[in-house]
Amino acid sequence: MSELNEPRQHPLRHPVARRQLLQAGTLALLLGAQHIARGASILAVRVWPSQDYTRVTIETDVPIVARQFLIPDPPRVAVDIEGLDMMPALRELVAKVKPDDPTIAGIRIGQNAPGVLRLVIDLRQAVNPQVFTLKPVAAYQHRLVLDLYPSVQIDPLAALIAERLREPSGATSAAGKVSPLPSGADPLGDLMAEQGQRAPGRSVAPPNMARNSPPRPADENTASSRTDRLIIVALDPGHGGEDPGAIGPGGTREKDVVLQIALLLKERINNQPNMRAYLTRDADFFVPLHVRVQKARRVQADLFVSLHADAFFTPNPQGASVFALSERGASSSSARWIADKENSADGVGGVNIKAKDAQVLKTLLDMSTTAQINDSLKLGSAMLGEIGSVGKLHKPRVEQAGFAVLKAPDIPSVLVETAFISNPDEEIRLNSPTYQVQLADALLRGILRYFAKNPPLARNRAV
């Protein structure tokens, strides 16, 4: 596991530290109004580094106001925060920057004026900073969020193909199945061209049926190897970063177990001939729901599989469920409830969406098609059948509701609630490496079964 994947200590899991801070806040109340006006108390500071962006969160008991300035040479962001005085929690922020943070080289903090702090964030690369505040939600109080997006964004499809090409040619996986790679002068270009220029109407053999022959040497650039299309499965581990998802009675966080399962499934998919998994997040950071959909579309994913763990108020409910999108209302009230719960992730995770963007987004996400839903239902039943062979099912049929994350109009998309994290037995299973492997194997079998009956069509979309 890389450092980015290391389980972080969640601030909410430190009730004592939190209580002390809250008590400090109460003390400020007793001191009188003039002190309250001057000072917010910091409840927690967090840094979430990732290749996509690095987020810094400062959580306070009252709202604070910030203004940022970008200084190009050397690149740094200065943030003036009103209503804050220097306090020990801020020194913690300095210490929380990881040495391998792709964006932040370091943070310096000084008192700029009475009641105004200046944060200077030294950068490793040019960024577009987004600074915004969030009102109290779930277990959080007021949050000031600094999102630092690299000015030069990585092209996810190019990165995916480059990753594939970095693998030693002819290398065999544990299963001995590796597809041949095109070996032209510009293999990356070839692969990308293949992705974009399939003759319409042609389909390719399902990946599990396609190649039983041993791997061919990379230099044997046969016609058939060129017509093998790379099938891309987008895996979407739910939640992440500021949004822990559901938390089990033993403290297991949904965002951690679904990432572990997604990484296992990725490995299995990548061991299939001509298949490649693409993760919407591969570490512990938050990805807004619409960005998950956009990411899958940018890599022209053939399938989208969102992984979650269910939770209820009582410990008894158990079993896995699989969901597809619905065009007309939810298939049951519980499906609607779960969709509402999963759709609320953006509020907890924290997104900076202006009203204008939100409208554009809604229009984009409302293009869902009947064909997508039909394919999603087929994929969902194939997966449900396989999950049922390794664990209990909550419902025997694929359910439907308006999940925001399933709205890619052109990609069959399902959301898997792998088990109930709120059920103590299932929480243990979700944490068990054995069960995680069984589940990943079952999910792969479901995906292969779907492709066996529904061969992926040739691409005719523009990259």
Applying CB under 5 A, the residues found at the interface with Zn ion are 238, 245, 308, 342
Nearer to Zn ion, 206 or 238 (CB): 238
Q: In the complex, what is the shortest distance from the CB of residue 310 to Zn ion, in angstroms, rounded to a whole number? A: 8
Using DSSP's 3-state secondary structure scheme, residue 266 falls into helix
The total of other beta-carbon atoms located within 10 Å of residue 3's CB is: 11
CB 225 within 8 A of CB 183: no
Nearer to Zn ion, 43 or 404 (CB): 404
Measured CA to CA, the distance from residue 417 to residue 295 in angstroms comes to 21
Measured CA to CA, the distance from residue 138 to residue 286 in angstroms comes to 16
The string of DSSP letters for 269-317 reads HHTSTTEEEEES-SSS----HHHHHHHHHHTT-SEEEEEEEE--SSS--
Nearer to Zn ion, 182 or 349 (CB): 349
Nearer to Zn ion, 119 or 257 (CB): 257
Residue among 293, 264, 250 nearest 409 (CA)? 293
Q: In the complex, what is the shortest distance from the CB of residue 341 to Zn ion, in angstroms, rounded to a whole number? A: 7
Q: In the complex, what is the shortest distance from the CB of residue 326 to Zn ion, in angstroms, rounded to a whole number? A: 18
- Say if strands 231-237 and 127-134 run parallel, antiparallel, or are unpaired: unpaired
Q: In the complex, what is the shortest distance from the CB of residue 307 to Zn ion, in angstroms, rounded to a whole number? A: 8
User: How large is the angle between the packed helices 370-387 and 433-453, nearest 10 degrees?
Assistant: 140
Nearer to Zn ion, 160 or 348 (CB): 348
Q: What separation in angstroms does the CA of 127 have from each of 106, 157, 186?
A: 14, 21, 31
Measured CA to CA, the distance from residue 351 to residue 130 in angstroms comes to 10
Measured CA to CA, the distance from residue 342 to residue 308 in angstroms comes to 9
Nearer to Zn ion, 211 or 239 (CB): 239
Measured CA to CA, the distance from residue 113 to residue 115 in angstroms comes to 6
Measured CA to CA, the distance from residue 438 to residue 313 in angstroms comes to 27
The string of DSSP letters for 172-240 reads --TTS-------SSSHHHHHHHHHH-PPTT-B---HHHH--SPPPPTT---HHHHHPPPEEEEEEE--B
The total of other beta-carbon atoms located within 10 Å of residue 223's CB is: 6
Alpha helices in 344-461 (DSSP H): 345-349, 355-365, 370-387, 424-431, 433-453
Q: In the complex, what is the shortest distance from the CB of residue 411 to Zn ion, in angstroms, rounded to a whole number? A: 19
353 token code pair = 């969406």
Which residues, in sequence order, are CB contacts of 346 under 8 Å at separation 6+?
Answer: 288, 289, 353
Q: In the complex, what is the shortest distance from the CB of residue 183 to Zn ion, in angstroms, rounded to a whole number? A: 42
Nearer to Zn ion, 83 or 244 (CB): 244
Nearer to Zn ion, 245 or 319 (CB): 245
Q: In the complex, what is the shortest distance from the CB of residue 248 to Zn ion, in angstroms, rounded to a whole number? A: 12
Name the residue with the smallest CB distance to Zn ion: 308
Nearer to Zn ion, 238 or 273 (CB): 238
Q: In the complex, what is the shortest distance from the CB of residue 167 to Zn ion, in angstroms, rounded to a whole number? A: 32
DSSP state of 48: E
Q: In the complex, what is the shortest distance from the CB of residue 48 to Zn ion, in angstroms, rounded to a whole number? A: 18
Q: In the complex, what is the shortest distance from the CB of residue 130 to Zn ion, in angstroms, rounded to a whole number? A: 24
